[in-house]
Amino acid sequence: MDLFEKRAFAMALSLLLVFLGLIVYAAKGLQTDLPTCLPPETARQFRKDVGSVVEIGPNRYQVNVVAFMWGFNMGTVNELRVPRGAVVDFYVTSRDVMHGYHIERTPVNLMAIPGAVTYARHKFDEPGEYMIICHEYCGLGHQNMAGKIIVE
């Protein structure tokens, strides 16, 4: 092994140790954690309200969505209705594989991850229809994952 090879090996080993140190620091020092399963009580409440628009205040709504192959559990016709000017909190999860939850013409762009709940809030000022699509390929039938929000 010549000098160049020894230096390259030492640099690669030191970079691996630095990356390992950063991972440990993120996990312990910053208390970063991977998503885990929902606590049972939270999961029961989430399932109870899935697919409905729940009014939680004046002109303030909450929507719990469960994505699955190949749809969104948002009611019987895959559409939500909210009044103009409504502030909507979206809580999204998945029951099988990773999905996407994107509402066109809004900044709402979530990942639906099994065992975790992602969140976004949006105020719908403009009336009309907002299409919801899955932007994460989830298998055959992915193109059928769509819904809409109707702002009245």
* Across 147-151, average pLDDT: 92
DSSP summary character for residue 83? -
Which pLDDT belongs to residue 104? 95
* Across 33-57, average pLDDT: 70
CA distance 56 to 11: 56
Sign of torsion over alpha carbons 108, 73, 70, 132: negative
* Across 117-136, average pLDDT: 93
pLDDT band at 49 (very low <50, low <70, confident <90, very high): confident
* Across 123-149, average pLDDT: 91
Inter-residue contact 60 to 78 (CB < 8 Å): no
What are 16's two structure tokens? 């691996």
Find the DSSP H helices in the chain. 3-24, 40-48
What would the pLDDT profile of 60-72 be if each residue is shown by its tens digit? 999 988 888 888 8
pTM for the structure as a whole = 0.71
* Across 98-117, average pLDDT: 91
Q: What are phi and psi of 44, to 5 degrees?
A: -65, -45
What would the pLDDT profile of 80-96 be if each residue is shown by its tens digit? 899 999 999 998 888 88
pLDDT at 134 over 60: yes
